[in-house]
Amino acid sequence: MQDPALDALMLPFAGGQLDWPAAGALFLRAREGAALHAHAPRSLVCEQSFRPEHEALQRAGFDARVDGDGAYARVLVLPPRQREEARALLARALSRCAPGGIVVAAMPNDAGARSGQADFEALFGPSSVLSKHKCRVFWASVDRADTALAASWRKLDAPRPILGGRFTSRPGVFAWDRVDAASALLAEQLPVTLSGHGADLGAGWGYLASEVLAHCPGVTALDVVEAEMRALDCARGNLAAHASRVALDFRWLDVTAGLDRRYDFIVTNPPFHALRGESRPEIGRAFIAAAAEALQPRGVLWLVANRHLPYEEAFGSRFAAVRIVAQRGGFKVIEAVRGR
């Protein structure tokens, strides 16, 4: 799969403008791809909190971690589109770079490269720049970095209260400061009769799980399954008040790889965009397939999706009954009962 931002990030190394120091280098929000294989040493330390990318890096032979410490002579970073999260990530790159070291960043033009470069130079000073693959890559030494600005930026993606203090979330998490319309519609339709051991797949910061726990007294256990550790950490805090009544398990998993437990019910608002932002409706179909394998006979799946996505065909013969329960604002809620 093409990854223009990663291709651009490797340009100064491929062209000889930058080298790989013997002491090692760090890649924040790392992604696996052909350019990484071609131009980066396997000694590159890769930090990634999104489980599918984390596992892809491990399979490729890189040292993949969720988090870490220590300073490196080269720090690479792919800033996200969300500006507060991106600024916090640049500040983190500075904190992980050794004196005299160099920070390198790349962004697609249509995902804020111009403003990203401006932020980069506000923090590090004038940068060297290359443009290719409809992206920009820019790099600079940390010797002239504005440490006071970095200190303020490091706090920009910290967990914070949202929705009047009812929940905690952080920039960069999906729908981080609100209840997205699709999840709200699904929550309205969920029956209070859900019971037993359930799961929320792609739980984000925990809104749907909180609605299940608040309104379904028959639920005895709930697995909160999320691929992004930054979101899962928020969900853990948001649902802590229910831990005395219900057995909660917070699972950092890639749902599309399958599930290893059986459930009486599953609720989900599956993502349909990948980490790079491209539309990926096959992710939702993979969620449906994983749910079908994980549900007990006669177990029920409650799913919300964009109305135009043809998910109905993905249910196939695995489910005895499938019905559209509600449609509103471009979304649909589907109930599917697992066959015997």
pLDDT in tens, 231-265: 999 999 999 999 999 999 999 999 999 999 999 99
Residue after which a domain boundary falls, among 132, 153, 174 = 153
Distances (CA, A) of 196 to 53, 72, 213, 301: 32, 49, 11, 13
Q: Which of 80-94, 205-219, 299-313 has the lowest mean pLDDT?
A: 299-313
The reported pLDDT for the residue numbered 277 is 55
pLDDT in tens, 47-100: 999 999 999 999 999 999 999 999 999 999 999 999 999 999 999 999 999 999
- Which residues contact residue 148 at a Cβ distance below 8 angstroms, ignoring those fewer than 6 apart? none
Whether residue 268 sits in one domain with residue 147? no
- CATH classification of the domain holding 47: 3.40.50.150
pLDDT bracket for residue 313 (50, 70, 90): confident
Stretch 217-231: mean pLDDT:
98
Domain boundaries, position 201:
160-338
- Measuring CA to CA, which residue among 256, 217, 257, 212 is closest to residue 235? 212
Whether residue 107 sits in one domain with residue 215? no
To the question of pTM greater than 0.85 for the whole model, the response is yes
Whether residue 245 sits in one domain with residue 174? yes
Whether residue 229 sits in one domain with residue 104? no
pLDDT bracket for residue 308 (50, 70, 90): confident
Number of domains in the chain: 2
Percent with pLDDT over 90 in the chain: 91
The reported pLDDT for the residue numbered 274 is 59
CA 247 to chain centre: 25
Whether residue 135 sits in one domain with residue 20? yes
The reported pLDDT for the residue numbered 338 is 94
Whether residue 145 sits in one domain with residue 79? yes
Stretch 5-30: mean pLDDT:
96
Whether residue 207 sits in one domain with residue 323? yes
Q: What does the longest C-alpha to C-alpha distance in the chain come to?
A: 66
Whether residue 31 sits in one domain with residue 137? yes
Whether residue 242 sits in one domain with residue 177? yes
Whether residue 270 sits in one domain with residue 216? yes
pLDDT bracket for residue 273 (50, 70, 90): low
The whole-chain average pLDDT of the chain stands at: 95
Stretch 169-192: mean pLDDT:
97
* Range from 109-113, 273-277, 279-283 that averages highest in pLDDT: 109-113
Is the pLDDT reported for residue 279 higher than 70? no
Whether residue 144 sits in one domain with residue 164? no
pLDDT in tens, 96-130: 999 999 999 999 999 999 999 999 999 999 999 99
Token pair recorded at residue 162? 């949202």
Is the pLDDT reported for residue 141 higher than 60? yes
Whether residue 177 sits in one domain with residue 122? no
Phi, psi angles (nearest 5°) of residue 193: -85, 0
The reported pLDDT for the residue numbered 307 is 87
